[in-house]
A = this chain, B = another copy of it.
Amino acid sequence: MSENRVAPGCPIARGVGTVGDAWSMLILRDAHVGATRFDQFRKNLGIAPTMLTKRLAALTQAGLLEKRLYSERPPREEYVLTPAGEDFLPVLLLFGAWARRHCGGDLARFIDETTGQEIQPVGVDAVSGARLGSRPIKLSGPENLA
């Protein structure tokens, strides 16, 4: 992709440029259900190690993951979610909820671990309280979309 000249002021374009590829999303998903180590990601995803190295580095660079030493001898590092990375969970949940509604098949459900209840993720406008998608929107700001 052109990466940077596509509507530079658009937050969606920016987000897509940062974590908008398939592997990054799946890595973040795994990170949210507990994976932290290179080989955990590699085995769960069946991703080529070259790709994984690249994606982990990109996510670390972007501030979603942080490299942390979990053993000095032997020196071993793991990748843990930063606050920005954790903040990405609602996006993944809404994304998954959308797929459950619209992509066929028998897909897994999200469960609240504290209550054991199924989660039904929805988007809401914190200002008006209205369900997102119920009203037309537009973008406003520094010279965005064409």
Using a CB–CB cutoff of 8 Å, the interface residues on chain A facing chain B are 1-2, 5-18, 20-23, 25-26, 29-30, 32-33, 43-46, 62-64, 84, 86-103, 105-115, 117-128, 130, 132-133, 135-142, 144-146
On whether the beta carbons of B100 and A112 are closer than 8 Å, the reply is no
Contact (Cβ within 8 A) B120 A125: yes
Copies of the protein in its oligomer: 2
Considering residues A6, A43, A92, which has the most beta carbons from chain B within 10 angstroms of its beta carbon?
A: A92
Q: Judge whether B113 and A136 touch: CB under 8 Å.
A: yes
Contact A108:B22 (CB < 8 A) given known A92-B12, A122-B123, A123-B93: no
A33 to B139, CA, bound (A): 8
Q: How far is the CB of A113 from chain B (nearest CB, A)?
A: 4
**A10-B108, A137-B119 known; A22+B25 contact, CB < 8 A:** no
Q: How far is the CA of A109 from the CA of B137 in the complex (A)?
A: 10
| Given A46-B6, A119-B127, A123-B121, A90 and B138 contact (CB-CB distance below 8 Å) | no
Bound together, the chains give a CA A33 to CA B100 distance in angstroms of: 25
Return chain B residues, CB-CB under 8 Å to A87.
98, 101-102, 133
Instruction: Using known A-B contacts A6-B45, A11-B97, determine if residue A126 contacts B122 with beta carbons closer than 8 Å.
Output: yes
Whole-angstrom distance between the alpha carbons of A60 and B90 in the complex?
26
Are the CB atoms of A11 and B140 closer together than 8 Å? Answer: no
Contact A25 B20 (CB under 8 A): yes
Please determine whether B1 and A106 come into contact, CB atoms closer than 8 angstroms: no
